[in-house]
Structure 1
Amino acid sequence: MSYSPSIYKFVDGGDVPVPPDLDVVRAVLEPHDVGDPRLTVAEDGSLQFWIRASDGSEAEISADETGILVERPHAGGVFAIVAELVSRLGAVVIDSSTGSIVCREEERTQLPAAMQEDAVVIEMTGEALSAALLGAAS
């Protein structure tokens, strides 16, 4: 079973996430992409990245108009890349395995009312994101 948190952007308490800015996704992830650049953009416009941080930690990331999936992120520097992406998009991270929502305070206020109370508010850094999703042992 693989661990795959998702990234979504909510606006004004709406129940449905808005599409992420795919130009921002590319700007943040392309410098870290170690996959085949010919496969980055699919025919349907969705994006696929295999990113690697300087410490060797990796994740596969796919993005389309519905949101962003971070597949099998390794503990380590890759979480700093994901945190930068989340911050630049003004988005939140949802851990589907636990149902937890991790975000900055400014994004918590954009969540649907039913989700705001349970959101875990952090400073969006790689260390804080990793600790919130994986626990302090990571």
Structure 2
Amino acid sequence: MSYSPSIYKFLEGSDTPVPLDMDVVRAVLRPYDVGDPKLTAVEDGHLQYRVRAADGSEAEIYADGTGISVERPHSGSGVFAIVAELASRLEAVIVEPSEGVFLCGTEALAHLPANMREEAVLMEMTGEAVEAALIGPRPS
């Protein structure tokens, strides 16, 4: 896939993302990391993971203090379940920039800036729901 959804957290309607809890990011991603553990933490404090879900779907995930970038997610609800778990546990929003799609659960919705709240898609944060919203439903 050529798109790169991102994850950001907002508070009290501010349009500036707030710092993420990097301990939560590590806790969610570490069990799925198939990359070199020595390369997870970058010198500047950023984190990078190559994750693989049980269904074989993968993505490269990069996190800094205020955002998470999901690079080249493979089609498969497993990797999207990881993305959904990250967003849910961080009470954050998933942004697909090329389409201007903002996906969030109820916790994150209340904190979005007004202009984003109007465009947000309130949804249950599951792998299947996130995958369908970002790339469409999988054929049966």
Corresponding residue number in structure 1 for 2:14? 14
What is the distance in 2 between the residues matched to 1:111 and 1:13? 5
Corresponding residue number in structure 2 for 1:93? 94
What is the distance in 2 between the residues matched to 1:63 and 1:2? 19
Report how many aligned residue pairs link the two structures: 138
Q: Which runs of 5+ in 1 are unaligned?
A: none
What is the distance in 2 between the residues matched to 1:104 and 1:93? 10
Corresponding residue number in structure 1 for 2:80? 79
Corresponding residue number in structure 1 for 2:106? 105
User: What does the per-residue CA deviation read over 1:18-53, in whole Å, with 9 as the maximum and x for residues that have no partner?
Assistant: 011111000000000000000000001100000000
1:137 Cα shift?
A: 3.2
Q: Contact 2:81 / 2:126 at 8 angstroms: preserved in 1?
A: yes
- TM-score w.r.t. structure 2 length? 0.95
1:11 Cα shift?
A: 0.6
**Structure 1 segment 1-138 matched on structure 2, within 5 A:** 2-76=2-76, 77-137=78-138
What is the distance in 2 between the residues matched to 1:29 and 1:106? 21
Q: In percent, how many aligned pairs have the same letter?
A: 66
User: What does the per-residue CA deviation read over 1:89-132, in whole Å, with 9 as the maximum and x for residues that have no partner?
Assistant: 00000001111100012211110011101101110000011111
More displaced, 104-113 or 121-130?
104-113
What is the distance in 2 between the residues matched to 1:35 and 1:67? 20
Q: Which runs of 5+ in 2 are unaligned?
A: none
Over 6 Å off, 4+ runs: none
Secondary structure of the residue aligned to 2:13 is coil
RMSD, aligned CA: 1.1
